[in-house]
């Protein structure tokens, strides 16, 4: 990466400053740009409307590539096109082919074609159109001139921006940037903390000067990041692999659920789940993976005790004596889900997600994860994660999937 390069991101959206929406664009663009050999040097959020003019003026005066998100939509506060037209002294031209595409998109969904929607078919003179395959407003790329750096205008909704970036923006940026020797490798780990990782690999990695090491803790997982020249990263990766061994989930960006679905597919084996405290999140995480239908047979979200008895055959007496949140019930849930579905394996979760429902013996955060297999005995892990309700569902899901990953990776 040349030191001369400088990239800025401008996000427009009153809702971002107002706090009703979290800005996920920066994280997405940061990751994507890095893989293209670029780093974001600065990011600014401005409200919808004319405030964007100042931000664009400032960014274009100091950076070589400015990426603007939002403000391309149909409503009156969407003014990115118009502001850039004025700043660059370019005209806006109605584009029939863009309009036809917008029209088809709107009518296919049975929406009414309002006059405002037409605004989105106006294109900046000299701009390359970036088709919007998942919405109406196209993106625009304005190549650099003597007075202005390269400008990319992308739509605000992430479901429109992301596929547009992948398909149409990446090739443009590759062309702008040219070759880069910068390489990054991210090891996703599970079951070990950030500082424990640093203790295992930190000193050894410090002996490679050309590599920059970063740690990033997610919910239920820690990423270890190596950045540097190709050979230095390769050298670092060898150290990481030798030291972290089974803690490593992937080194190619794959999430735990993708790895689990891959392992099951390779082994021609199947999975069922029985969820109480995760409430469907475990099943939903697995079914996020394209191709999961080949290995995932059934999920049972048995929220009520009756459902645990009726659907999973958990003995009523077990729940009465030991409570729904207990080692025995977790085991019986996993066995019940496996038996009824005929799957090779089953995972179960039962715990106190909170904020209410905790007791002295089983406080909020208590959870049991069950694992049943067609080939062996049932296993239950007891864990304790006192946190908010949503994080709890996520952590427990990660731990359940990691339990399965370890059984699949390290058994014949």
From candidates 50, 104, 107, 116, binder to a second copy by CB under 8 A: 116
- Is 122 an interacting residue with respect to a second copy (CB under 8 A)? no
**Shortest distance in whole angstroms from residue 397 CB to a second copy:** 9
Query: In sequence order, what E strands does 95-239 have?
Result: 122-124, 128-130, 139-142, 150-154, 182-189, 211-218, 221-229
What sign does the CA torsion over 287, 291, 292, 298 have?
A: positive
Stretch that binds a second copy, among 122-130, 237-245, 257-265, 295-303 (CB under 8 A): 295-303
From candidates 55, 67, 261, 319, binder to a second copy by CB under 8 A: 55
Secondary structure of 207-270 in HEC code, one letter for each residue: CCCCEEEEEEEECCEEEEEEEEEHHHHHHHHHHHHHHHHHHEEECCCCCHHHHHHHHHHHHCCC
Stretch that binds a second copy, among 170-178, 229-237, 366-374, 383-391 (CB under 8 A): 383-391
Query: In sequence order, what E strands does 324-409 have?
Result: 345-351, 366-373, 379-384
- The smaller minimum CB distance to a second copy, of residues 130 and 301, is found at 301
Pairwise CA distance, residues 295 & 262, whole Å: 9
Q: Residue 202 class from Cβ within 10 Å (0-12 exposed, 13-18 middle, 19+ buried)?
A: middle
- Is 131 an interacting residue with respect to a second copy (CB under 8 A)? no
- Is 281 an interacting residue with respect to a second copy (CB under 8 A)? yes
- Is 46 an interacting residue with respect to a second copy (CB under 8 A)? yes
From candidates 94, 288, 316, 320, binder to a second copy by CB under 8 A: 288
- Is 355 an interacting residue with respect to a second copy (CB under 8 A)? yes
- Is 211 an interacting residue with respect to a second copy (CB under 8 A)? no
- Smallest CA-to-CA distance from 334 within 295, 289, 302 is with 302
Site string for a second copy, 393-412 (x = CB under 8 A): x-------------------
CB 276 within 8 A of CB 249: no
- Is 83 an interacting residue with respect to a second copy (CB under 8 A)? no
- The smaller minimum CB distance to a second copy, of residues 14 and 128, is found at 14
From candidates 44, 144, 251, 313, binder to a second copy by CB under 8 A: 44
Stretch that binds a second copy, among 25-33, 122-130, 237-245, 261-269 (CB under 8 A): 25-33
| Distance (Å) of CA 194 to CA 149, 221, 263, 366, 391 | 40, 9, 26, 23, 18
- The smaller minimum CB distance to a second copy, of residues 176 and 227, is found at 227
Stretch that binds a second copy, among 146-154, 169-177, 198-206, 244-252 (CB under 8 A): 198-206
CB 396 within 8 A of CB 278: yes
What SS3 state is found at 164? helix
Integer-rounded Cα Rg, in Å, for the chain is 26
**Shortest distance in whole angstroms from residue 178 CB to a second copy:** 21
- Smallest CA-to-CA distance from 308 within 274, 278, 277 is with 274
**Shortest distance in whole angstroms from residue 48 CB to a second copy:** 7
**Shortest distance in whole angstroms from residue 192 CB to a second copy:** 9
Stretch that binds a second copy, among 15-23, 94-102, 328-336, 370-378 (CB under 8 A): 15-23
Site string for a second copy, 145-184 (x = CB under 8 A): ------------x-x--xx--------------------x
Residue 82 CB coordination number (10 Å): 17
- Smallest CA-to-CA distance from 155 within 102, 90, 108, 199 is with 102
């Amino acid at each position: 990466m040349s030191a001369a390069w400088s990239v800025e991101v401008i996000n427009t959206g009153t809702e971002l400053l107002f706090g009703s929406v979290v800005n996920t664009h920066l994280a997405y663009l940061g990751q994507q740009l890095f893989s293209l050999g670029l780093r974001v040097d600065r990011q600014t959020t401005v409200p919808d409307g004319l405030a964007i003019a100042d931000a664009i003026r400032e960014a274009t005066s100091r950076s070589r590539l400015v990426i603007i998100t939002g403000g391309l939509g149909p409503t009156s506060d969407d003014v990115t096109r118009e502001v850039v037209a004025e700043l660059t002294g370019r005209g806006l031209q109605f584009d029939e082919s863009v309009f036809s595409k917008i029209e088809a998109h709107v009518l296919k969904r049975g929406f009414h074609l309002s006059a405002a929607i037409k605004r989105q078919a106006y294109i900046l003179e000299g701009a390359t159109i970036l088709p919007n395959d998942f919405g109406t407003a196209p993106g625009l790329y304005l190549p650099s001139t003597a007075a202005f750096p390269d400008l990319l205008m992308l739509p605000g909704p992430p479901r429109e921006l992301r596929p547009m970036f992948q398909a149409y923006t990446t090739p443009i940026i590759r062309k702008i940037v040219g070759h880069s020797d910068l390489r990054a490798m991210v090891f996703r780990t599970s079951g070990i903390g950030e500082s424990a990782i640093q203790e295992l690999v930190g000193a050894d990695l410090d002996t490679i000067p050309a590599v920059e090491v970063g740690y990033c803790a997610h919910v239920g997982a820690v990423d270890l990041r190596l950045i540097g020249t190709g050979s230095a990263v390769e050298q670092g990766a060898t150290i990481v692999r030798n030291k972290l061994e089974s803690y490593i989930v992937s080194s190619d960006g794959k999430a735990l659920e993708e790895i689990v679905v891959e392992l099951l597919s390779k082994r021609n084996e199947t999975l069922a789940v029985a969820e109480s405290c995760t409430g469907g999140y475990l099943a939903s995480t697995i079914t996020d993976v394209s191709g999961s239908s080949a290995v995932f047979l059934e999920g049972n979200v048995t929220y009520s005790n009756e459902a645990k008895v009726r659907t999973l055959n958990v003995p009523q007496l077990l729940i009465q004596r030991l409570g729904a949140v207990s080692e025995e019930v977790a085991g019986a849930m996993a066995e019940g889900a496996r038996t009824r579905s005929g799957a090779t394996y089953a995972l179960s979760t039962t715990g106190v997600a909170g904020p209410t429902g905790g007791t002295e013996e089983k406080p909020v955060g208590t959870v049991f994860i069950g694992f049943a297999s067609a080939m062996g005995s049932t296993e239950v892990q007891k864990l304790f994660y006192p946190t908010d309700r949503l994080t709890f569902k996520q952590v427990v899901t990660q731990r359940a999937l990691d339990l399965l990953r370890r059984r699949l990776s390290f058994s014949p």
